[in-house]
Amino acid sequence: MLLGAHVSIAGGLHEAPKAGKWIGCDAIQIFSRSPRMLRYTKPITEGDVRLWQEALRENGIKAAVIHTNYLINLCSPLKRMVKVARDAFVEEMERAQALGVQLLIFHPGAHMGKGEEKGLKLVAESLDACIERANAPDVVLCIENMAGQGSTIGYKLEHLRKIMDLSKHPERLAVCLDSCHLFAAGYDIRTRDGYETVMSRVGEAIGFDRVRAFHLNDSKGPVNSRVDRHEHIGKGKLKEDTFRFLVNDARFATCPAVLETPGEDPEFRRNLKLLRRLVKP
Ligand SMILES: [Zn+2]
Ligand SMILES: [Zn+2]
């Protein structure tokens, strides 16, 4: 795994790789725009791209991924909101393309009472519409598995499979696995046996080649709690063993794997040190 953390773009995109280096990252995750607003954002200029790519190089960052805006709900039952979501998603794709970032990680969304089947179908339709509209041919869309809070879909591996099956462009889709979300959704990865059982289900439902990125978070909530609350590595319900299994899993050796634990850069640095200690030489 290429280990790292989610870093801030406050002060400009080019600040993120610097923060990444200070934390000790091989990989970083960023928001390419404010994660909590859907309104118009400043376009990315050629100057921004140059500074960003220089900063990646200078700071030794081997992989960068982008997480989309949290407010995008590709399966909202409100027609107007689906349109807003798709417009924002297309913009996210084009920003990723401009920055030379291949992996765009997103949440499938919440059906808000309309049912999971309808939600999954609408997500696939939204993805197809965005893929066909965006000028972003190199961007791979990574569906993130969810904890299953409220009416969010994507908390079962089969949901992720279903979205890929329903899409007309499955070759443009991949998966990002979040350890906290897996556990909160009922996938018990605390022991070696549990981990291998869950991973064989990942292999069957999704295929290891389609798992392209990871979020490494411990979980405040117990197994199957459907609670999405991240905790520092080793301080939550998962303990260190799960992360030892993950960081040493040869199937995921080339995947960027970023922390989204609480706190700021000093806490990320501590968590990342711990993860690196777990890597077997
Ligand atoms: Zn996420
Ligand atoms: Zn989460």
- 40-72: pLDDT as tens digits: 788 999 999 999 999 999 999 999 999 999 999
Q: pLDDT tens across 74-85, in order?
A: 999 999 999 999
Rounded Cα distance between 56 and 59, Å, is 5
**What is the CB-side half-sphere exposure of residue 274 using CA atoms within 13 A?**
21
The CA 131 to ligand 1 mean position distance, Å, reads 20
The reply to whether 218 belongs to the active site is: no
Backbone angles phi, psi at 256, to 5 degrees: -65, 140
> Averaged over 212-234, what is the pLDDT?
98
Domain locations along the chain: 2-278
The CA 231 to ligand 2 mean position distance, Å, reads 10
Burial of 53: CB neighbours in 10 Å, binned 0-12, 13-18, 19+: middle
Backbone angles phi, psi at 42, to 5 degrees: -60, 130
Q: Are strands 2-6 and 256-259 parallel, antiparallel or unpaired?
A: parallel
Rounded Cα distance between 76 and 110, Å, is 7
Question: What amino acid is encoded at 184 in this protein?
Answer: A
User: pTM for the full model?
Assistant: 0.97
What's the pLDDT score for residue 34?
A: 79
Q: Where are the beta strands (DSSP E) in the chain?
A: 2-6, 27-30, 63-67, 103-106, 140-144, 173-178, 211-216, 218-219, 230-231, 256-259
The reply to whether 169 belongs to the active site is: no
Q: Which of 33, 144, 161, 218 is catalytic?
A: 144
- Residue listed under structure tokens 């080793």: 234
| Ligand that comes closest to the CA of residue 67 | 1
Grade residue 239 by pLDDT with cuts at 50, 70 and 90. confident
Residues 144/215, Cβ–Cβ less than 8 Å: yes
Among 174, 80, 164, 177, CA closest to 128:
164
The reply to whether 260 belongs to the active site is: yes
Residues 150/113, Cβ–Cβ less than 8 Å: no
CATH level 2 (architecture), domain 2-278: Alpha-Beta Barrel (3.20)
